[in-house]
Every structure is written in C-alpha cells, then in structure tokens.
C-alpha cells in the first residue's frame, strides 16, 4: 500500500481502515491531505474483496477542521480554481461502491464534520464535540456542509449549527440525527469494526445496490427511487449470492458469497 504523509491506510480482512494522521496538529486538514484522501479513495476502490471502509483518526481528536494557517493563504482565485476539486474529494466517499463508516472522537470541526457527512454512517465517542464554525470566520461551509447537513438533520437544525455556530456533544448529535451511534471512547473502533465486518459479511452486490438506492432516494423523486428499486431487484434476483443466501439460511450455515 502507498505510504502517505498525513494518512495511514491498512486492511483487515474485507475492511479498509483509513486513519487521519496529524495528531500533533489536531489532525487539521491541508491541501496535501485532500490530495492524499483522493489518492487513498482510488487505492481503496481498487482493493480486491473489499466490503466496507472505516475512516478514523489517530490521537485525541478526529479533526479540528481546516488548518487555519493554510486558510489564511487562500484567496478567491485559489478557491475558484480548486474548490470544485476539493468538494469532489469528499464526494468520492459518498460515491464509493461500498459503505463508509466515520469513527469520530474528540473535536470534530468544520471541514472535518463535512468529511463525516460524506460518509454513510457516523459513530461518535461520547467525548466528541461537533461544530461548524465557518461563519465565525467570515465564511460559509463549502465542503458539503450547507448541502448534506440539512438532509440529515433538517434545515432548522442545520441553520442553528451553521449560522449560530453552536457546538454540540455526541448525545445531542445523535438526537438530531447527525450521528447514528454513540459509544464509550474505548469502544469506538471496536464498534466501528464490528459494524464494518457485519456489512462486509453481507452479499456484496446487494450491499452496493442498497447504498446506491438510498443515495439516489435522498436527492431524487419518489418515482425515480422506486424505478431504481425495480431495476436493482431485477438484477439481484437470481444472482449466485442471492441463491447462496437463501440456501445457507435453510441449511443453517454461514453463507459463502462470490460477488456474483
């Protein structure tokens, strides 16, 4: 696997683990990290027998967001040339064929929570603190915050967090639907890996179709979503894995899937 300067990448069975690795800088995000996130997404997508991905962070904090030292060097021209690309780096995790789980602890601010929003499932340690403070610095979230957050928590909560710059803890994040699971800090990776392995144990084609269907439903009409359900069902019914899942159920054994 590629050696990265700001990330660590490994694979455990069918689960890829991508770790943000700038703990001495609160895992703040730089242009170099965006470049490496893009490369890592390509490397993960190319992995054989991949079932799920976990994104976590080393040290005490998930990420304090963009490195303000770097942000101070940005100007309108730089943003105009690079923002579309930077947004696409986060979108890659949403578009990845397999589910992506974010495992968050400590501080999760700004661009860091926007990265988590691009993941499929968010698990938070009880000590997590979430804030989207861009407005405080004369900006508005531009890495999916004003787009993905309202879809998860509704426009009112999104406005409270973004315009009010309010910080919330793990329990409140769960109550409003920003995270799906809250655990003790020392159980964070265990819970994330257990869920990732459970997903990876399911029939691969069905998992990928289900992710695509849910993503489609959040940004299209009811009719378009139902049409996709029809198409994926026609494809899935009669696959080797679908037959194996049913046969294994009746034979009371663990199924062996081939991805076909």
The confidence score (pLDDT) of residue 220 equals: 76
**Catalytic: which of 114, 184, 190, 219?**
114
Supply the pLDDT for residue 256: 83
Residue 58 in tokens: 């080393």
pLDDT at 193 over 90: yes
Quick: pLDDT tens for 41-58.
999 999 989 999 999 999
Q: Mean per-residue pLDDT for 99-125?
A: 98
Q: What is the pLDDT of residues 130-150, one digit of tens each?
A: 999 999 988 899 999 999 999
Question: What average pLDDT does the segment 168-184 reach?
Answer: 98
Residue 17, both tokens: 């683990």
- Stretch 109-134: mean pLDDT, rounded? 97
The answer to whether 166 is a known catalytic residue is no
Q: Answer yes or no: is pLDDT of 165 > 90.
A: yes
The helix-helix angle for 204-218 and 222-236 (nearest 10°) equals: 170
pLDDT at 94 over 80: yes
CA distance 203 to 136: 46
Token readout for 162 is 């973004």
Question: Mind listing the domains of the chain with CATH numbers?
Answer: 7-200 (3.90.226.10), 204-250 (1.10.12)
What is the reported pLDDT for 35? 96
134 counts as catalytic: yes
Q: What would the mean pLDDT of 205-217 be, rounded to a whole number?
A: 93
Q: What is the pTM of this model?
A: 0.90
Res 36: pLDDT = 98
Q: What pLDDT sits at residue 63?
A: 97
CA distance 33 to 39: 10
Mean residue pLDDT across the chain: 92
Catalytic residue among 3, 38, 95, 134: 134
1 within 8 A of 9, measured Cβ to Cβ: yes
Rounded-to-10 torsion of CA 178, 181, 186, 189:
-90
The mean pLDDT of 9-19, rounded to a whole number, is 97
């Amino acid at each position: 696997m590629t050696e990265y300067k700001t990330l660590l990448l490994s694979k455990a069975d069918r689960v890829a683990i991508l770790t943000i690795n700038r703990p001495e800088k609160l895992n703040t995000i730089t242009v170099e990290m965006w470049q490496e996130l893009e490369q890592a997404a390509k490397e993960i997508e190319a992995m054989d027998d991949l079932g799920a991905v976990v994104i976590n962070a080393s040290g005490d904090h998930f990420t304090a967001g963009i490195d303000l030292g770097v942000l101070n060097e940005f100007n309108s021209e730089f943003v105009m040339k690079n923002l579309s690309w930077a947004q696409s780096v986060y979108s890659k995790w949403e578009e990845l064929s397999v589910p992506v789980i974010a495992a968050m602890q400590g501080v999760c601010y700004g661009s860091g929570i926007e990265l988590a929003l691009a993941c499929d499932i968010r698990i938070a340690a009880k000590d997590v603190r979430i804030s989207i403070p861009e407005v405080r610095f004369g900006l508005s979230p531009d890495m999916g915050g004003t787009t993905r957050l309202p879809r998860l928590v509704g426009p009112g909560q999104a406005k409270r967090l973004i315009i009010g710059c309010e910080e919330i803890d793990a329990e409140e994040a769960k109550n409003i639907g920003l995270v799906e699971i809250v655990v003790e800090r020392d159980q964070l990776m265990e819970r994330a890996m257990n869920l990732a392995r459970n997903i990876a144990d399911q029939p691969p084609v069905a998992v990928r179709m289900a992710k695509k269907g849910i993503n489609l439903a959040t940004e299209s009409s009811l009719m378009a979503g139902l049409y996709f359900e029809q198409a994926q069902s026609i494809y899935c019914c009669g696959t080797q894995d679908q037959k194996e899942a049913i046969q294994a159920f009746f034979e009371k054994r663990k199924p062996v899937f081939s991805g076909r």
